[in-house]
Amino acid sequence: MKKRYIFIIVFLIILVLFIRRTNNKTIKYKVKTNNELFSIIEKNNKNYYYYDIKWNKKEYPINIFKSNIKKKSINKIYNYNDDIYSCILPLFNGEILTDIMCYKDNVIYNYQAIKNESEKLDKYVDSIEEYKTLYKDTTKENKYNNIITFYNDVGKSISITTYKGIISKEKDVKLFDKDVYSNKISAYVDKYYITADYNSNYEFNKFYIVNLNDNEISTIKVKNPISFDSYVQGIVDNKVYIFDPENEIQYEIELKNKKINITSDENIKYYSNKKWSKVSVKQAKKELLFDYSSLDNIYNEYDRVYENSYYYYCIKKNKLYRINKNNTKVKTYIIDLPVNEITIQDDYLYYVDNNELYYYSDITGLKILLTNREFEFNKYIKYYIY
């Protein structure tokens, strides 16, 4: 009996290792459409699929954030080529999961960004039946109150700060008895919101925490009073770091477990170039925010760079480009950006322009998510998509 149990355990371990290895396997195959041959590299990563399609001496890198995609999922590729454009549209088991990708001057453009530039290209795109149902205006207005109006549904939850707390799951969560216009000691971390107790006047000794899953409010108390001159340095590994310059104390707060670590010596923790170091209290008093950039060469080529686990988003002269981390030789033009501040999440990006919060993905194009009449008057208003 004992040997039988040992055998079963060993078998299960081997099975799990085999599944993991299979899931992360890179496969290569070819697809032929209208006498055009495409070479494809397909890799099943931990939470997304990566494809590199080679055609006409060009590479088209694609990330697909969808589960349960079958192996060798690209079964057909529409293609167009002339003296200016070289375009493809892969079908994933017959489904469109990305926009038409067009090379122009060695840069990839999604078709929606160059629509109406070429009559020939537009005519070809009009002939693709599967593409006709995409990018239609399906905007629906949902007026929340006299200040905020929600529009398109991105399949995610939205939270936004107000002068008395936050809106979460389209419900008001009241935290303060009075209007607070400058709640800079606050942050969204994972699926939590943390803020100083602005019901206090000159200093405070507790934080409010809202669980965004159920809007439950809890508190974390500290022994020593905290100055309202404190500021959020940054967020690393779902921990928020707050520095109190008046009392020369750094707070490391883990919201899920409601734990606080305190640093009050001459040097405090500082995060930069993807690693930790120490800086003096004197430096921290100058509102020294964490630097999430890295030493990658890409950072030297652009005015500003944002990154997540999958992409670099690069701004140069108000043009926004995206570079896939699986293939940094190729860049994709996204949009002309009217602002320099963006938020990125998987393959979505968000930004505020005047009173509008916009979002963009390859499969939706640029759309408005909500309007807030207070955006242009108050820089401390925060939004969070999860």
Could you state, in order of their start, the residue ranges of all structural domains in the chain? 24-131, 137-174+340-386
DSSP-derived secondary structure for 226-271: EETT-EEEEEETTEEEEEETTTTEEEEEETTTTEEEEE-SSEEEEE
Tell me the residue type at 318. Answer: N
Count other C-beta atoms under 10 Å from residue 100's C-beta. 26
Longest dimension (CA), the chain: 75
- Using the predicted structure, report yes or no on whether residue 2 has a pLDDT greater than 60: no
List beta partners, residue 259.
254
pTM (whole model) above 0.75: yes
Q: What percent of the chain has pLDDT over 70?
A: 93
Q: How far is CA 179 from CA 4, 90, 199, 219, in A?
A: 67, 52, 10, 20
- Using the predicted structure, report yes or no on whether residue 295 has a pLDDT greater than 80: no
How crowded is the C-beta side of 331, counted as CA atoms within 13 Å? 18
- Using the predicted structure, report yes or no on whether residue 66 has a pLDDT greater than 80: yes
Count other C-beta atoms under 10 Å from residue 283's C-beta. 12
- Using the predicted structure, report yes or no on whether residue 73 has a pLDDT greater than 60: yes
Lowest mean pLDDT among 49-58, 179-188, 294-303: 294-303
Summarised one tens digit per residue, pLDDT across range 309-362 is 899 999 999 999 999 999 999 999 999 999 888 999 888 999 999 999 999 999
- Using the predicted structure, report yes or no on whether residue 182 has a pLDDT greater than 70: yes
H-assigned helices in the chain: 2-23, 111-114, 119-126, 281-284, 298-301
- What integer pLDDT is reported at residue 5 of this predicted model? 55
- What integer pLDDT is reported at residue 8 of this predicted model? 59
Sheet containing strand 239-244, strands side by side: 231-236, 239-244, 249-254, 259-263
User: Cβ contacts of residue 134 below 8 Å, gap of 6+?
Assistant: 96, 99, 363
Summarised one tens digit per residue, pLDDT across range 29-55 is 999 999 999 999 999 988 899 999 999
- What integer pLDDT is reported at residue 217 of this predicted model? 98
